[in-house]
Amino acid sequence: MLKRLFLCLAVLVCSQVVAPPASYAQATDGQPTDEITVSGMDDGAIEQRINAIFDEIGALSGVEAQVNEGVVALSGTVADQADIDRAVSIAGRFQGVVTVEQSIERDLSVDRSLSPAIANLENSLRRGWEALPLVGLAIAVFLVVLIIGHLLASWKALWQRLTPNPFLAEIVAQAIRFIAIIIGLVTALNLIGATALMGAILGGAGVIGLAIGFAVRDTVENYIASIMLSLRQPFRANDHVLIDAHEGRVVRLTSRATILMTLDGNHLRVPNSTVFKAVILNYTRNPERRFEFDLGVDAEDDPVAAMATGLEAMGRLDSILDEPKPDALIKTVGDSNILITFMAWIDQSQTNFAKARSLAIRAAKDALEENGFTLPEPIYRLRFDGAPVQVQPGAGATVTTGEPAAPAPTAKPKREAATQSSEAEAGVLDTRPDDHIAEKVEEERAQTGEKDLLDSGRPVE
């Protein structure tokens, strides 16, 4: 890569050195604005002056001018079209010239056409040979600036001390290398006087950079999001987070994506641009977490007594925190039941959230049933055309059709509770937190050793 850069620089520099100066081209070939004043202002004087000028210019020595009443007629032969335009331009600059009529012809002979090209090539080679020391000096200056920039960018200890994290330190180092290349290139081109080439390079680089920026807009957005996330960190490694619809524990934050391990043990890569714009719910930052569930009682039952019974049963569980205290409220009153919402707090660092909620529902339900509260079942109203139907409220329904009713089936007795808890039941009653995913995350972070932009020394925002 570096060799190609040097080769391109040498070719561009040599082409600028051997090329004739722009000011010379303008002076000879450009459209003049000043008129040439001739003493006497007669046609003869103008004709003599024009022919004298053509004789002094080698490429126009074969052109002859005749002037009559201010009209200049040009004739003869030249090597190329540029010389014709040049002769017309010179003739038109004289004061007193009304117009210029040209009948100059191009000399298409091989000798006449090839000689200027050979002369120009010889002149270019000679100028290039003379410019070699200057070109070598420019390349040497470029290399010196490039080496200084590389050494400065390789000073990692300095940039890591000045920047918040290694990711930004690497970005600063790359920026210094790029700036060193630009400074070295501009200095070298100024040294050899190729300012026009420098402007063309900078202009082309700007256009190319703009086109590339539109093409890789998503990549640039993701890269900027990585920088912002590394500066304002919304989570720590192994935090339990919900990023939009993606839930899991944070493995690491890279320069492209945030790596999560889902609660099923799978790896999930979320682009940092998505993470930066997403709504993030962090379950780990505050260990206290509230859960809630709904239970319904019969419309004829006292809802306040039901609330007190359920709260008392939940308060006896070890997983439920005493402060903040459990709470309950009446959510809705329906046609046949009253819906009560129970709420309680747990410590996620000591208790499994899902198991604690499950056991709390069980404790509240059993307490309500033991104290005579009815948990309503669905009630259906049936209608049969041609026969009276009577549905009585309650757990079941009685249908009258005008015929003797069949004897009601005997209710099955409830299954007696087991006297001894099995090993499986003991596992269900264990509300300790499941640390398997957290341990897998720590193992992966220790084994891979991949760069992580998350810094425990910076505050979480």
Where in the chain are the domains?
A: 2-114, 115-215, 288-385
Share of the chain above pLDDT 70, in %: 75
Please choose, from the candidates 101, 89, 100, the residue with its C-alpha nearest in 3D space to the C-alpha of residue 34. Answer: 89
CATH topology of domain 2-114: Histidine-containing Protein; Chain: A; (3.30.1340)
Compute the distance between CA of residue 231 and CA of residue 455 in angstroms, rounded to an integer: 9
Compute CA 387 distance to the chain's CA centroid, rounded to the nearest angstrom: 73
Please choose, from the candidates 403, 383, 379, the residue with its C-alpha nearest in 3D space to the C-alpha of residue 392. Answer: 379
Supply angle C-alpha 290, 291, 297, rounded to 5.
Answer: 135
Of the given ranges (218-232, 329-343, 344-358, 375-389), which has the lowest mean pLDDT?
375-389
pLDDT tier, 387 (very low <50, low <70, confident <90, very high otherwise):
low
251: left (phi over 0), alpha (psi -120 to 50) or beta: alpha
Compute the distance between CA of residue 64 and CA of residue 83 in angstroms, rounded to an integer: 13
Compute the distance between CA of residue 112 and CA of residue 130 in angstroms, rounded to an integer: 28
Higher pLDDT, 38 or 308: 308
Question: How large is the average pLDDT for residues 404-431?
Answer: 55
Higher pLDDT, 119 or 112: 119
- pLDDT for 371 equals 93
- pLDDT for 408 equals 46
- pLDDT for 22 equals 37
Residue 430: pLDDT over 80:
no
Please choose, from the candidates 428, 430, 452, 431, the residue with its C-alpha nearest in 3D space to the C-alpha of residue 442. Answer: 452
Residues 6+ apart with CB under 8 A from 183: 145, 149
Give the C-alpha distances (Å, rounded to integers) separating 409 from 45, 374, 406. Answer: 140, 21, 9
- pLDDT for 250 equals 93
Residue with tokens 């309500």: 368
Q: What is the pLDDT of residues 218-275, one digit of tens each?
A: 777 888 888 888 888 889 889 999 998 899 999 999 888 899 999 998 999 999 999 9
Give the C-alpha distances (Å, rounded to integers) separating 441 from 81, 259, 313, 444. Answer: 78, 10, 37, 5
Compute the distance between CA of residue 174 and CA of residue 203 in angstroms, rounded to an integer: 22
pTM, 2 dp:
0.55
CB burial string 358-397: b at 16+ within 10 A, e below: ebbbebbbebbeeeebbebeeeeeeeeeeeeeeeeeeeee
* Class of domain 288-385 (CATH, top level): alpha beta
pLDDT tier, 385 (very low <50, low <70, confident <90, very high otherwise):
confident
Compute the distance between CA of residue 450 and CA of residue 221 in angstroms, rounded to an integer: 23
- For 250, phi then psi, to 5°, come to -75, 125
Compute the distance between CA of residue 131 and CA of residue 284 in angstroms, rounded to an integer: 69
Spell out the SS3 assignment of 154-212.
CCHHHHHHHCCCHHHHHHHHHHHHHHHHHHHHHHHHHHHCCHHHHHHHHHHHHHHHHHH
Are β-strands 99-106 and 71-78 bridged in parallel, bridged antiparallel, or unpaired? parallel
Residues 6+ apart with CB under 8 A from 440: 261, 265
Q: What is the pLDDT of residues 147-180, one digit of tens each?
A: 998 888 888 777 777 776 677 777 788 888 888 8
Residue 93: pLDDT over 70:
yes
Residue 27: pLDDT over 70:
no
Compute the distance between CA of residue 21 and CA of residue 24 in angstroms, rounded to an integer: 5
Give the C-alpha distances (Å, rounded to integers) separating 418 from 314, 411, 421. Answer: 22, 21, 7
Residue 365: pLDDT over 90:
yes
